[in-house]
Amino acid sequence: MRAVVVKRFGGPEAVEVVEASLPEPGPGQVRIKVAAAALNPVDAAYGGGFLVPLPKDGPLGLGWDVAGTVDAVGAGAPFAAGAEVVALAYGPAPAKAQAEYVVVDSTAVAPAPASVDAAHAATVPLNTLTAAQALDLLDLAPGSTLLVTGAAGAVGGYAVQLAHRAGITVAGMAGAADEELVRSLGADRFVERGAAAGPFDAVLDAAVLGADALAYVRDDGDYVGVIPQAGPPGVRGIRVQVVEVAADGNRLAELVKLVDAGVLTPRVARTYPLEEATDAYRRLAEGGVRGRLVLVPRTG
Question: Are residues 290 and 178 located together in one domain of the fold?
Answer: no
Question: Are 6 and 119 in the same domain?
Answer: yes
d(CA 175, CA 197) in angstroms, rounded, equals: 14
- Are 6 and 51 in the same domain? yes
The reply to whether 99 and 26 lie within a common domain is yes
Ordered per-residue pLDDT tens for the chain, 300 residues? 999 999 988 889 999 999 999 999 999 999 999 999 999 988 888 777 676 777 777 798 999 999 999 999 999 999 999 999 999 999 888 889 999 999 999 999 999 999 999 999 999 999 999 999 999 999 999 999 999 999 999 999 999 999 999 999 999 999 999 999 999 999 999 999 999 998 999 999 999 999 999 999 999 999 999 988 778 988 999 999 999 999 999 999 999 999 999 999 999 999 999 999 999 999 999 888 889 999 999 876
DSSP 130-194: HHHHHHHHH-PPTT-EEEEETTTSHHHHHHHHHHHHTT-EEEEEE-GGGHHHHHHTT-SEEEETT
- Give one word for 274, left, alpha or beta, with left for phi > 0 and alpha for psi -120 to 50: alpha
Do 114 and 183 lie in a common domain? no
Looking at the fold, whether 176 and 164 belong to one and the same domain comes out as: yes
Residue 257, domain member (yes or no):
no
For residue 250, is it within any domain?
no
Residues 238 and 149 in one domain: yes
SS3 state at 30: strand
In a domain, 194, yes or no: yes
How would you classify the pairing of strands 200-205 and 145-149?
parallel
Q: Does residue 260 lie in a domain region?
A: no
pLDDT value of position 300: 61
Q: In CATH, what number is assigned to the domain containing residue 55?
A: 3.90.180.10
Round to whole Å and give the CA distance between 214 and 197.
Answer: 11
Q: How far apart are CA 168 and CA 147, in angstroms?
A: 10
Is 258 part of a structural domain of the chain?
no
Task: Please check whether residues 83 and 197 belong to one and the same domain.
Answer: no
Q: Are residues 220 and 206 in the same domain?
A: yes
Residue of 44, 95, 33, 42 lying closest to 280 (CA atoms)? 44
The reply to whether 33 and 120 lie within a common domain is yes
Quick one: which of 123, 99, 103, 104 has its CA closest to 113?
123
The answer to whether residue 247 sits within a structural domain is: no
**How does strand 84-88 pair with strand 101-105?**
unpaired
Domain end, chosen from 226, 242, 258, is at 242
Q: Please name which of 56, 58, 66 lies closest in space to residue 98, comparing C-alpha atoms.
A: 66
What is the rounded CA–CA span in Å between residue 233 and residue 191?
24
Per DSSP, helices labelled H in the chain are: 41-47, 118-121, 125-138, 154-165, 179-184, 249-260, 277-286
How many structural domains does the chain have? 2
- The answer to the question of residue 185 being in a domain is yes
| Residue 136 domain-assigned (yes or no) | yes
pTM comes to 0.94
Task: Please check whether residues 116 and 133 belong to one and the same domain.
Answer: no
Query: Domain range for residue 191?
Result: 127-242
What number of CA atoms fall less than 13 Å from residue 193's CA on the CB side?
16
Whether 110 and 222 share a structural domain: no
How much is the pLDDT for 30?
Answer: 98
Please report, for the domain that includes residue 150, its CATH number: 3.40.50.720
CA distance 104 to 81: 14
